[in-house]
Chain A
Protein backbone atom coordinates (compact mmCIF):
# COMPACT_ATOMS: atom_id res chain seq x y z
CA UNK A 1 0.00 0.00 0.00
CA UNK A 2 2.75 2.50 0.84
CA UNK A 3 4.25 4.14 -2.17
CA UNK A 4 7.99 4.82 -1.85
CA UNK A 5 7.80 8.07 -3.81
CA UNK A 6 4.74 9.61 -2.26
CA UNK A 7 3.76 10.68 1.21
CA UNK A 8 0.12 10.85 2.19
CA UNK A 9 -1.14 13.64 4.45
CA UNK A 10 -4.47 13.24 6.20
CA UNK A 11 -6.42 15.37 8.62
CA UNK A 12 -9.86 14.45 9.93
CA UNK A 13 -12.86 16.51 10.93
CA UNK A 14 -15.19 14.42 13.02
CA UNK A 15 -18.74 15.26 13.98
CA UNK A 16 -19.75 13.59 17.23
CA UNK A 17 -23.39 13.94 18.13
CA UNK A 18 -23.57 14.84 21.80
CA UNK A 19 -25.74 12.60 23.95
CA UNK A 20 -27.97 15.29 25.43
CA UNK A 21 -31.67 14.86 26.10
CA UNK A 22 -32.62 18.11 24.37
CA UNK A 23 -31.26 20.05 21.41
CA UNK A 24 -28.41 22.50 21.60
CA UNK A 25 -30.54 25.64 21.29
CA UNK A 26 -34.07 24.41 21.98
CA UNK A 27 -35.98 22.17 24.38
CA UNK A 28 -36.97 19.65 21.70
CA UNK A 29 -35.97 16.02 22.23
CA UNK A 30 -33.01 14.50 20.36
CA UNK A 31 -34.19 10.89 20.19
CA UNK A 32 -33.56 9.10 16.91
CA UNK A 33 -36.24 7.72 14.60
CA UNK A 34 -39.31 9.80 15.51
CA UNK A 35 -42.07 10.67 13.02
CA UNK A 36 -40.87 13.35 10.55
CA UNK A 37 -40.89 16.87 11.99
CA UNK A 38 -42.42 15.72 15.26
CA UNK A 39 -39.26 16.70 17.13
CA UNK A 40 -38.76 20.07 15.49
CA UNK A 41 -39.65 22.83 17.93
CA UNK A 42 -40.54 26.39 16.98
CA UNK A 43 -36.84 27.23 17.32
CA UNK A 44 -35.72 24.30 15.18
CA UNK A 45 -38.23 25.28 12.52
CA UNK A 46 -36.81 28.83 12.56
CA UNK A 47 -40.24 30.40 12.78
CA UNK A 48 -40.34 34.20 12.77
CA UNK A 49 -39.55 35.57 16.24
CA UNK A 50 -37.77 32.59 17.80
CA UNK A 51 -34.43 32.78 19.58
CA UNK A 52 -31.77 30.24 20.63
CA UNK A 53 -30.78 29.46 24.24
CA UNK A 54 -27.71 27.28 24.80
CA UNK A 55 -27.95 23.85 26.44
CA UNK A 56 -25.66 23.48 29.47
CA UNK A 57 -25.41 19.73 28.86
CA UNK A 58 -23.81 20.28 25.46
CA UNK A 59 -21.22 22.64 26.92
CA UNK A 60 -20.46 20.25 29.73
CA UNK A 61 -19.78 17.45 27.24
CA UNK A 62 -17.43 19.70 25.30
CA UNK A 63 -15.54 20.41 28.52
CA UNK A 64 -15.32 16.68 29.20
CA UNK A 65 -13.85 16.14 25.76
CA UNK A 66 -11.34 18.97 26.19
CA UNK A 67 -10.13 17.52 29.48
CA UNK A 68 -9.86 13.99 28.07
CA UNK A 69 -7.49 15.03 25.27
CA UNK A 70 -5.37 17.42 27.32
CA UNK A 71 -6.70 20.43 25.44
CA UNK A 72 -7.37 23.99 26.56
CA UNK A 73 -10.97 24.60 27.48
CA UNK A 74 -11.37 28.21 26.46
CA UNK A 75 -12.75 30.36 29.24
CA UNK A 76 -14.53 32.47 26.64
CA UNK A 77 -15.72 31.27 23.25
CA UNK A 78 -18.00 32.75 20.63
CA UNK A 79 -20.90 31.38 18.63
CA UNK A 80 -20.94 32.46 15.01
CA UNK A 81 -23.37 32.15 12.17
CA UNK A 82 -22.28 30.20 9.10
CA UNK A 83 -24.56 31.50 6.36
CA UNK A 84 -25.69 29.37 3.43
CA UNK A 85 -28.95 28.35 1.86
CA UNK A 86 -30.07 24.77 1.95
CA UNK A 87 -33.61 23.51 2.46
CA UNK A 88 -32.63 21.37 5.44
CA UNK A 89 -30.98 24.39 7.13
CA UNK A 90 -34.04 26.21 8.44
CA UNK A 91 -32.53 29.55 9.46
CA UNK A 92 -30.37 29.92 6.36
CA UNK A 93 -27.40 29.74 8.72
CA UNK A 94 -25.88 27.19 11.03
CA UNK A 95 -24.93 28.30 14.52
CA UNK A 96 -21.37 27.12 14.99
CA UNK A 97 -18.13 28.42 16.46
CA UNK A 98 -15.56 30.03 14.25
CA UNK A 99 -12.81 32.26 15.55
CA UNK A 100 -12.85 31.14 19.17
CA UNK A 101 -13.96 27.51 19.72
CA UNK A 102 -14.77 26.01 23.11
CA UNK A 103 -11.77 23.65 22.95
CA UNK A 104 -8.31 24.32 21.49
CA UNK A 105 -5.37 21.96 21.05
CA UNK A 106 -4.82 18.64 22.75
CA UNK A 107 -4.15 15.34 21.05
CA UNK A 108 -4.62 11.61 20.93
CA UNK A 109 -2.09 8.77 20.95
CA UNK A 110 -2.70 6.06 18.41
CA UNK A 111 -0.89 2.81 17.73
CA UNK A 112 -0.36 1.34 14.29
CA UNK A 113 1.77 -1.77 13.77
CA UNK A 114 3.14 -1.54 17.29
CA UNK A 115 4.32 2.05 16.80
CA UNK A 116 2.80 4.81 18.91
CA UNK A 117 2.05 8.19 17.41
CA UNK A 118 0.60 11.39 18.81
CA UNK A 119 -2.01 13.05 16.60
CA UNK A 120 -2.51 16.71 17.46
CA UNK A 121 -5.95 18.25 17.56
CA UNK A 122 -6.52 21.74 16.25
CA UNK A 123 -9.79 22.39 17.99
CA UNK A 124 -13.22 21.14 18.89
CA UNK A 125 -16.25 23.35 18.56
CA UNK A 126 -19.94 23.19 19.35
CA UNK A 127 -22.50 23.52 16.58
CA UNK A 128 -25.97 22.43 15.55
CA UNK A 129 -26.84 19.73 13.05
CA UNK A 130 -29.08 20.32 10.02
CA UNK A 131 -32.23 18.41 9.09
CA UNK A 132 -32.39 15.92 6.28
CA UNK A 133 -33.80 15.73 2.79
CA UNK A 134 -35.67 12.61 1.75
CA UNK A 135 -35.50 11.81 -1.92
CA UNK A 136 -38.20 9.20 -2.25
CA UNK A 137 -40.61 10.23 -4.85
CA UNK A 138 -43.04 12.88 -3.68
CA UNK A 139 -44.22 13.56 -7.23
CA UNK A 140 -40.71 14.60 -8.21
CA UNK A 141 -40.11 16.61 -5.06
CA UNK A 142 -38.00 16.09 -1.94
CA UNK A 143 -39.34 15.96 1.59
CA UNK A 144 -37.68 17.91 4.39
CA UNK A 145 -37.56 16.42 7.89
CA UNK A 146 -36.19 18.79 10.53
CA UNK A 147 -36.13 16.36 13.47
CA UNK A 148 -32.34 16.33 13.42
CA UNK A 149 -32.08 20.13 13.04
CA UNK A 150 -30.55 21.60 16.16
CA UNK A 151 -29.04 18.34 17.44
CA UNK A 152 -25.83 19.21 19.30
CA UNK A 153 -22.57 18.30 17.60
CA UNK A 154 -18.98 18.54 18.65
CA UNK A 155 -16.80 18.99 15.58
CA UNK A 156 -13.35 17.68 16.38
CA UNK A 157 -10.65 18.84 13.98
CA UNK A 158 -7.25 17.15 13.84
CA UNK A 159 -4.01 18.53 12.52
CA UNK A 160 -2.89 16.93 9.24
CA UNK A 161 -0.73 14.51 11.23
CA UNK A 162 -1.77 11.18 9.77
CA UNK A 163 0.29 9.54 7.03
CA UNK A 164 -1.77 6.52 5.99
CA UNK A 165 -5.32 5.30 5.89
CA UNK A 166 -4.37 2.89 8.67
CA UNK A 167 -3.39 5.81 10.88
CA UNK A 168 -6.58 7.64 10.00
CA UNK A 169 -8.67 4.62 10.90
CA UNK A 170 -6.71 4.10 14.13
CA UNK A 171 -7.30 7.74 15.01
CA UNK A 172 -11.00 7.56 14.21
CA UNK A 173 -11.39 4.36 16.23
CA UNK A 174 -9.53 5.81 19.16
CA UNK A 175 -11.69 8.94 19.06
CA UNK A 176 -14.79 6.79 18.73
CA UNK A 177 -13.80 4.79 21.79
CA UNK A 178 -12.99 7.98 23.71
CA UNK A 179 -16.23 9.88 23.10
CA UNK A 180 -18.23 6.85 24.23
CA UNK A 181 -15.92 6.25 27.15
CA UNK A 182 -16.38 9.76 28.53
CA UNK A 183 -20.10 9.51 27.90
CA UNK A 184 -20.55 12.38 25.46
CA UNK A 185 -21.67 10.45 22.36
CA UNK A 186 -23.41 7.11 21.83
CA UNK A 187 -21.05 6.37 18.94
CA UNK A 188 -23.82 4.90 16.79
CA UNK A 189 -22.39 5.25 13.31
CA UNK A 190 -25.40 3.82 11.47
CA UNK A 191 -27.56 6.55 12.96
CA UNK A 192 -24.95 9.17 12.05
CA UNK A 193 -23.91 9.92 15.63
CA UNK A 194 -20.24 9.77 14.65
CA UNK A 195 -19.10 10.70 11.15
CA UNK A 196 -15.85 11.84 9.60
CA UNK A 197 -14.72 14.18 6.84
CA UNK A 198 -11.22 13.38 5.57
CA UNK A 199 -8.84 15.98 4.16
CA UNK A 200 -6.45 14.11 1.93
CA UNK A 201 -3.41 15.27 0.00
CA UNK A 202 -0.22 13.72 -1.32
CA UNK A 203 3.30 15.08 -1.75
CA UNK A 204 6.52 13.69 -3.05
CA UNK A 205 8.62 12.33 -0.22
CA UNK A 206 11.01 14.92 1.11
CA UNK A 207 8.81 17.84 0.09
CA UNK A 208 8.11 20.39 2.84
CA UNK A 209 4.92 21.95 1.57
CA UNK A 210 1.60 20.18 1.55
CA UNK A 211 -0.07 19.19 -1.70
CA UNK A 212 -3.51 20.44 -2.68
CA UNK A 213 -6.10 18.69 -0.58
CA UNK A 214 -9.54 17.31 -1.24
CA UNK A 215 -12.14 16.94 1.44
CA UNK A 216 -14.20 13.74 1.41
CA UNK A 217 -17.45 14.30 3.25
CA UNK A 218 -19.57 12.22 5.59
CA UNK A 219 -17.78 8.90 6.01
CA UNK A 220 -19.90 6.99 8.48
CA UNK A 221 -17.98 3.74 8.87
CA UNK A 222 -14.34 2.92 9.46
CA UNK A 223 -14.32 0.77 6.35
CA UNK A 224 -15.62 3.61 4.19
CA UNK A 225 -13.04 5.91 5.75
CA UNK A 226 -10.27 3.52 4.80
CA UNK A 227 -11.60 2.81 1.32
CA UNK A 228 -12.24 6.47 0.55
CA UNK A 229 -8.75 7.52 1.60
CA UNK A 230 -7.09 4.73 -0.35
CA UNK A 231 -9.07 5.48 -3.45
CA UNK A 232 -8.40 9.19 -3.12
CA UNK A 233 -4.66 8.74 -2.56
CA UNK A 234 -4.37 6.59 -5.63
CA UNK A 235 -6.44 9.00 -7.67
CA UNK A 236 -4.29 11.97 -6.68
CA UNK A 237 -1.01 10.18 -7.31
CA UNK A 238 -2.14 8.94 -10.71
CA UNK A 239 -3.39 12.40 -11.57
CA UNK A 240 -0.08 14.10 -10.73
CA UNK A 241 2.07 11.37 -12.27
CA UNK A 242 -0.03 11.68 -15.39
CA UNK A 243 0.90 15.36 -15.57
CA UNK A 244 -2.33 16.67 -14.08
CA UNK A 245 -3.05 18.79 -11.03
CA UNK A 246 -5.19 18.12 -8.01
CA UNK A 247 -7.93 20.72 -7.66
CA UNK A 248 -9.08 21.69 -4.22
CA UNK A 249 -12.63 20.44 -3.89
CA UNK A 250 -15.18 18.67 -1.81
CA UNK A 251 -15.80 15.05 -2.79
CA UNK A 252 -18.33 12.41 -1.91
CA UNK A 253 -17.58 8.74 -1.36
CA UNK A 254 -19.77 6.26 -3.18
CA UNK A 255 -19.63 3.04 -1.15
CA UNK A 256 -21.26 0.96 -3.88
CA UNK A 257 -18.63 1.83 -6.48
CA UNK A 258 -15.87 2.33 -3.90
CA UNK A 259 -14.80 5.63 -5.39
CA UNK A 260 -14.95 9.33 -4.64
CA UNK A 261 -16.50 11.93 -6.93
CA UNK A 262 -16.70 15.71 -7.09
CA UNK A 263 -19.43 17.31 -4.99
CA UNK A 264 -18.43 20.92 -5.48
CA UNK A 265 -15.25 22.59 -6.63
CA UNK A 266 -13.39 25.45 -5.03
CA UNK A 267 -14.78 27.89 -7.60
CA UNK A 268 -18.30 27.45 -6.38
CA UNK A 269 -17.11 27.10 -2.79
CA UNK A 270 -19.45 28.85 -0.44
CA UNK A 271 -18.72 32.21 1.08
CA UNK A 272 -20.16 31.47 4.50
CA UNK A 273 -20.04 35.05 5.76
CA UNK A 274 -19.27 34.01 9.32
CA UNK A 275 -20.02 36.60 11.98
CA UNK A 276 -20.68 36.46 15.74
CA UNK A 277 -24.29 35.45 16.36
CA UNK A 278 -26.01 38.54 17.77
CA UNK A 279 -28.63 36.36 19.47
CA UNK A 280 -26.01 34.69 21.68
CA UNK A 281 -23.56 36.19 24.15
CA UNK A 282 -20.03 34.88 24.67
CA UNK A 283 -19.89 31.44 26.28
CA UNK A 284 -17.98 31.82 29.55
CA UNK A 285 -16.70 28.73 31.36
CA UNK A 286 -15.17 29.28 34.77
CA UNK A 287 -12.42 27.30 36.50
CA UNK A 288 -14.82 25.88 39.07
CA UNK A 289 -16.97 24.33 36.37
CA UNK A 290 -13.98 22.80 34.63
CA UNK A 291 -12.72 21.45 37.96
CA UNK A 292 -16.09 19.92 38.76
CA UNK A 293 -16.38 18.27 35.34
CA UNK A 294 -12.81 16.98 35.77
CA UNK A 295 -13.60 15.46 39.15
CA UNK A 296 -16.65 13.66 37.74
CA UNK A 297 -14.83 12.21 34.74
CA UNK A 298 -14.12 8.50 34.53
CA UNK A 299 -10.47 7.48 34.34
CA UNK A 300 -9.44 7.11 30.70
CA UNK A 301 -9.05 3.59 29.20
CA UNK A 302 -5.22 3.59 29.36
CA UNK A 303 -5.29 4.57 32.99
CA UNK A 304 -7.89 1.95 33.81
CA UNK A 305 -5.95 -0.75 32.00
CA UNK A 306 -2.73 -0.17 33.84
CA UNK A 307 -4.60 -0.04 37.14
CA UNK A 308 -6.20 -3.43 36.42
CA UNK A 309 -2.80 -4.93 35.72
CA UNK A 310 -0.80 -3.25 38.45
CA UNK A 311 -3.29 -3.03 41.30
CA UNK A 312 -5.51 -5.99 40.67
CA UNK A 313 -2.93 -8.28 39.18
CA UNK A 314 -4.86 -9.08 36.03
CA UNK A 315 -3.20 -10.06 32.77
CA UNK A 316 -2.80 -7.47 30.02
CA UNK A 317 -5.29 -9.46 27.92
CA UNK A 318 -7.89 -9.42 30.68
CA UNK A 319 -7.34 -5.70 31.24
CA UNK A 320 -7.76 -5.09 27.52
CA UNK A 321 -10.98 -7.07 27.41
CA UNK A 322 -12.40 -5.44 30.53
CA UNK A 323 -11.79 -1.94 29.14
CA UNK A 324 -13.46 -2.65 25.83
CA UNK A 325 -16.18 -0.26 27.00
CA UNK A 326 -17.04 1.93 29.94
CA UNK A 327 -20.01 -0.30 30.66
CA UNK A 328 -17.78 -3.38 30.97
CA UNK A 329 -15.22 -1.83 33.24
CA UNK A 330 -17.93 -0.17 35.33
CA UNK A 331 -19.60 -3.56 35.74
CA UNK A 332 -16.31 -5.10 36.71
CA UNK A 333 -15.54 -2.36 39.24
CA UNK A 334 -18.98 -2.78 40.77
CA UNK A 335 -18.46 -6.54 41.11
CA UNK A 336 -15.07 -6.03 42.67
CA UNK A 337 -16.46 -3.52 45.12
CA UNK A 338 -18.86 -6.19 46.35
CA UNK A 339 -16.25 -8.92 46.33
CA UNK A 340 -12.89 -7.35 47.15
CA UNK A 341 -9.73 -9.25 46.34
CA UNK A 342 -11.39 -11.56 43.80
CA UNK A 343 -10.41 -9.71 40.63
CA UNK A 344 -9.54 -12.81 38.68
CA UNK A 345 -12.74 -14.66 39.59
CA UNK A 346 -14.83 -11.58 38.74
CA UNK A 347 -13.02 -11.09 35.43
CA UNK A 348 -13.46 -14.74 34.51
CA UNK A 349 -17.18 -14.75 35.13
CA UNK A 350 -17.76 -11.36 33.48
CA UNK A 351 -15.75 -12.18 30.36
CA UNK A 352 -16.84 -15.85 30.42
CA UNK A 353 -20.30 -16.87 31.51
CA UNK A 354 -21.94 -13.44 31.38
CA UNK A 355 -20.42 -12.24 28.10
CA UNK A 356 -21.18 -15.51 26.38
CA UNK A 357 -24.75 -15.35 27.50
CA UNK A 358 -25.15 -11.70 26.47
CA UNK A 359 -23.65 -12.46 23.09
CA UNK A 360 -25.84 -15.43 22.52
CA UNK A 361 -28.97 -13.48 23.34
CA UNK A 362 -27.80 -10.22 21.70
CA UNK A 363 -28.30 -8.16 24.81
CA UNK A 364 -26.29 -5.10 25.90
CA UNK A 365 -24.43 -5.34 29.16
CA UNK A 366 -26.48 -2.37 30.37
CA UNK A 367 -29.63 -4.46 29.99
CA UNK A 368 -28.26 -7.68 31.46
CA UNK A 369 -30.84 -9.32 33.73
CA UNK A 370 -28.15 -9.90 36.36
CA UNK A 371 -26.44 -6.79 37.67
CA UNK A 372 -22.94 -6.55 39.07
CA UNK A 373 -23.83 -6.84 42.79
CA UNK A 374 -26.05 -9.83 42.04
CA UNK A 375 -23.33 -11.59 40.12
CA UNK A 376 -20.84 -10.80 42.87
CA UNK A 377 -23.25 -12.31 45.42
CA UNK A 378 -23.27 -15.50 43.39
CA UNK A 379 -19.48 -15.62 43.25
CA UNK A 380 -19.35 -15.10 47.03
CA UNK A 381 -21.08 -18.47 47.36
CA UNK A 382 -18.19 -20.02 45.45
CA UNK A 383 -15.54 -18.38 47.57
CA UNK A 384 -17.24 -19.36 50.82
CA UNK A 385 -17.60 -22.90 49.67
CA UNK A 386 -21.39 -22.97 49.44
CA UNK A 387 -21.37 -23.72 45.72
CA UNK A 388 -19.06 -25.60 43.46
CA UNK A 389 -18.22 -23.97 40.14
CA UNK A 390 -20.62 -26.27 38.39
CA UNK A 391 -23.44 -25.58 40.80
CA UNK A 392 -22.80 -21.84 40.42
CA UNK A 393 -23.42 -22.14 36.69
CA UNK A 394 -26.79 -23.70 37.35
CA UNK A 395 -27.64 -20.96 39.80
CA UNK A 396 -26.49 -18.39 37.21
CA UNK A 397 -28.97 -19.89 34.73
CA UNK A 398 -31.76 -19.66 37.22
CA UNK A 399 -30.88 -16.07 38.05
CA UNK A 400 -30.77 -15.19 34.36
CA UNK A 401 -34.26 -16.62 34.00
CA UNK A 402 -35.53 -14.41 36.75
CA UNK A 403 -35.69 -16.92 39.62
CA UNK A 404 -34.27 -14.38 42.07
CA UNK A 405 -30.97 -13.78 43.83
CA UNK A 406 -28.26 -16.39 44.20
CA UNK A 407 -29.19 -17.08 47.81
CA UNK A 408 -32.86 -17.33 46.93
CA UNK A 409 -32.13 -19.88 44.20
CA UNK A 410 -29.81 -21.87 46.47
CA UNK A 411 -32.44 -21.97 49.23
CA UNK A 412 -35.32 -22.76 46.89
CA UNK A 413 -33.51 -25.65 45.26
CA UNK A 414 -31.67 -26.86 48.32
CA UNK A 415 -28.50 -26.53 46.31
CA UNK A 416 -26.19 -25.57 49.12
CA UNK A 417 -23.02 -27.58 49.21
CA UNK A 418 -22.63 -29.55 52.41
CA UNK A 419 -19.58 -28.15 54.12
CA UNK A 420 -20.51 -29.08 57.65
CA UNK A 421 -17.68 -31.31 58.83
CA UNK A 422 -19.90 -33.37 61.10
CA UNK A 423 -22.44 -34.11 58.38
CA UNK A 424 -19.73 -35.04 55.90
CA UNK A 425 -17.95 -37.23 58.50
CA UNK A 426 -21.16 -39.17 59.10
CA UNK A 427 -21.54 -39.90 55.40
CA UNK A 428 -17.85 -40.81 55.09
CA UNK A 429 -18.14 -43.23 57.95
CA UNK A 430 -21.20 -44.83 56.43
CA UNK A 431 -19.46 -45.24 53.09
CA UNK A 432 -16.35 -46.75 54.67
CA UNK A 433 -18.50 -49.19 56.56
CA UNK A 434 -20.49 -50.17 53.46
CA UNK A 435 -17.48 -50.63 51.12
CA UNK A 436 -14.90 -52.71 52.87
CA UNK A 437 -13.64 -53.99 49.49
CA UNK A 438 -12.68 -50.60 48.24
CA UNK A 439 -11.08 -49.74 51.56
CA UNK A 440 -9.05 -52.91 51.27
CA UNK A 441 -7.89 -52.08 47.75
CA UNK A 442 -6.97 -48.50 48.70
CA UNK A 443 -4.88 -49.70 51.58
CA UNK A 444 -3.23 -52.05 49.06
CA UNK A 445 -2.15 -48.95 47.12
CA UNK A 446 -4.83 -48.61 44.46
CA UNK A 447 -5.60 -44.94 43.94
CA UNK A 448 -8.61 -45.77 41.79
CA UNK A 449 -10.27 -47.29 44.83
CA UNK A 450 -9.93 -43.94 46.65
CA UNK A 451 -11.71 -42.15 43.83
CA UNK A 452 -14.48 -44.72 43.95
CA UNK A 453 -14.96 -43.97 47.64
CA UNK A 454 -15.12 -40.23 46.98
CA UNK A 455 -17.70 -40.97 44.30
CA UNK A 456 -19.75 -42.96 46.77
CA UNK A 457 -19.69 -40.12 49.29
CA UNK A 458 -20.72 -37.61 46.65
CA UNK A 459 -23.49 -39.92 45.52
CA UNK A 460 -24.72 -40.41 49.05
CA UNK A 461 -24.77 -36.59 49.53
CA UNK A 462 -26.59 -36.13 46.24
CA UNK A 463 -23.59 -34.18 44.96
CA UNK A 464 -23.78 -31.50 47.62
CA UNK A 465 -20.85 -32.47 49.78
CA UNK A 466 -17.85 -30.20 49.43
CA UNK A 467 -15.48 -32.39 47.39
CA UNK A 468 -12.37 -30.98 49.03
CA UNK A 469 -13.66 -31.73 52.48
CA UNK A 470 -14.68 -35.23 51.40
CA UNK A 471 -11.18 -35.96 50.13
CA UNK A 472 -9.54 -34.58 53.23
CA UNK A 473 -11.81 -36.54 55.59
CA UNK A 474 -11.46 -39.81 53.69
CA UNK A 475 -7.68 -39.54 53.77
CA UNK A 476 -7.74 -38.83 57.46
CA UNK A 477 -10.02 -41.78 58.21
CA UNK A 478 -8.15 -44.25 56.02
CA UNK A 479 -4.67 -42.86 56.57
Chain B
Protein backbone atom coordinates (compact mmCIF):
# COMPACT_ATOMS: atom_id res chain seq x y z
CA UNK B 1 0.00 0.00 0.00
CA UNK B 2 2.78 2.41 0.92
CA UNK B 3 4.36 1.81 -2.48
CA UNK B 4 1.04 2.28 -4.25
CA UNK B 5 0.47 5.48 -2.27
CA UNK B 6 4.06 6.60 -2.95
CA UNK B 7 4.94 7.10 0.70
CA UNK B 8 8.33 5.92 1.86
CA UNK B 9 8.01 4.17 5.19
CA UNK B 10 10.77 2.79 7.40
CA UNK B 11 10.45 -0.78 8.73
CA UNK B 12 9.96 0.52 12.23
CA UNK B 13 7.22 2.89 11.13
CA UNK B 14 5.67 0.14 9.03
CA UNK B 15 5.14 -2.26 11.92
CA UNK B 16 3.67 0.46 14.15
CA UNK B 17 1.40 1.64 11.34
CA UNK B 18 0.33 -1.90 10.58
CA UNK B 19 -0.82 -2.44 14.17
CA UNK B 20 -2.84 0.76 14.05
CA UNK B 21 -4.34 -0.11 10.70
CA UNK B 22 -5.37 -3.51 12.05
CA UNK B 23 -7.25 -1.80 14.88
CA UNK B 24 -8.90 0.54 12.45
CA UNK B 25 -9.96 -2.25 10.13
CA UNK B 26 -11.34 -4.20 13.09
CA UNK B 27 -13.51 -1.17 13.81
CA UNK B 28 -14.53 -0.87 10.16
CA UNK B 29 -15.49 -4.54 10.17
CA UNK B 30 -18.81 -3.75 11.98
CA UNK B 31 -20.09 -2.09 8.87
CA UNK B 32 -19.56 -5.15 6.71
CA UNK B 33 -22.19 -7.15 8.56
CA UNK B 34 -25.01 -4.81 7.46
CA UNK B 35 -27.37 -6.09 4.80
CA UNK B 36 -27.16 -3.63 1.93
CA UNK B 37 -28.72 -5.77 -0.76
CA UNK B 38 -30.21 -3.50 -3.43
CA UNK B 39 -29.14 -0.25 -1.75
CA UNK B 40 -27.89 2.35 -4.19
CA UNK B 41 -24.45 3.62 -3.11
CA UNK B 42 -24.47 7.26 -2.03
CA UNK B 43 -21.64 9.22 -3.63
CA UNK B 44 -22.97 12.66 -2.83
CA UNK B 45 -25.13 13.99 -0.02
CA UNK B 46 -27.43 15.74 -2.47
CA UNK B 47 -28.72 14.24 -5.67
CA UNK B 48 -28.66 16.29 -8.81
CA UNK B 49 -26.68 16.16 -11.99
CA UNK B 50 -23.46 17.61 -13.25
CA UNK B 51 -23.74 21.24 -14.22
CA UNK B 52 -22.07 22.09 -17.53
CA UNK B 53 -19.82 24.96 -18.41
CA UNK B 54 -20.01 26.71 -21.79
CA UNK B 55 -17.06 25.94 -24.05
CA UNK B 56 -15.33 29.28 -23.77
CA UNK B 57 -11.79 30.20 -22.81
CA UNK B 58 -11.88 32.02 -19.48
CA UNK B 59 -8.38 31.34 -18.16
CA UNK B 60 -5.19 32.88 -19.42
CA UNK B 61 -1.49 32.41 -18.88
CA UNK B 62 -0.73 31.71 -15.19
CA UNK B 63 2.76 30.43 -15.75
CA UNK B 64 4.48 33.01 -13.60
CA UNK B 65 2.21 32.35 -10.65
CA UNK B 66 2.71 28.61 -11.13
CA UNK B 67 6.48 28.85 -11.21
CA UNK B 68 6.59 30.94 -8.04
CA UNK B 69 5.76 27.88 -5.91
CA UNK B 70 7.74 25.37 -7.99
CA UNK B 71 10.51 23.49 -6.18
CA UNK B 72 12.64 23.49 -9.34
CA UNK B 73 11.92 25.03 -12.70
CA UNK B 74 13.63 26.21 -15.86
CA UNK B 75 12.38 27.89 -19.04
CA UNK B 76 8.81 27.70 -17.78
CA UNK B 77 9.00 23.95 -17.18
CA UNK B 78 8.74 22.09 -13.88
CA UNK B 79 11.91 20.07 -13.43
CA UNK B 80 11.85 16.53 -12.09
CA UNK B 81 14.41 13.72 -11.91
CA UNK B 82 14.66 12.19 -15.36
CA UNK B 83 11.47 10.44 -16.48
CA UNK B 84 12.28 7.05 -17.97
CA UNK B 85 9.72 5.38 -20.24
Contacts and interface: CB of A to CB of B under 8 A. Distances in A.
B50 A54 contact: yes
A22 B55 CA distance: 6
Interface of A: 20-22, 26-29, 35-43, 45, 47, 53-59, 76, 79, 85, 87-88, 133-135, 138, 140-146, 252, 263, 271, 273, 276, 278, 280-284
Interface residues of B, number: 33
A29 B57 contact: yes
The 10 A-B pairs of least Cβ separation, nearest first, read A57-B55, A27-B58, A143-B77, A284-B49, A41-B59, A56-B52, A144-B78, A133-B83, A142-B83, A27-B59
Contact of A22 (B58, B61, B83): B58
A45 B72 CA distance: 15
A27 B59 CA distance: 5
Contact of A278 (B43, B76, B77): B43
A252 to B, nearest CB: 7
A73 to B, nearest CB: 15
Contact of B52 (A29, A59, A135): A59
B57 A54 contact: no
Nearest to A284: B49
B72 A282 contact: no
A88 B78 CA distance: 10
A35 B62 CA distance: 12
B80 A142 contact: yes
Given A21-B56, A278-B43, A283 B77 contact: no
A6 B39 CA distance: 48
Contacts of B74: 138, 143
16 contacts: A20-B55, A28-B59, A37-B63, A37-B78, A39-B61, A41-B59, A41-B62, A47-B66, A142-B81, A144-B78, A146-B78, A263-B85, A281-B44, A281-B48, A281-B51, A283-B49
B76 A35 contact: yes
A443 to B, nearest CB: 77
Contacts of A20: 55
B5 to A, nearest CB: 9
Contacts of B58: 22, 27
Contact of B57 (A22, A35, A59, A271): A22
Contacts of A278: 43-44
Nearest to B49: A284
Nearest to A134: B77
A38 B54 contact: no
Given A135-B83, A141-B81, A38 B57 contact: no
Contact of B55 (A41, A58, A273): A58
Nearest to B43: A276
B4 A271 contact: yes
B82 A142 contact: yes
B77 A37 contact: yes
B75 interface: yes
Nearest to A83: B4
B2 to A, nearest CB: 13
B84 to A, nearest CB: 9
Contact of A21 (B55, B61, B79, B81): B55
Interface in B7-56: 43-44, 48-56
A271 B81 CA distance: 23
Contacts of A140: 82
Contacts of B85: 252, 263
A76 to B, nearest CB: 8
Contacts of A276: 43
Nearest to A273: B4
A22 B44 CA distance: 27
Nearest to B51: A53
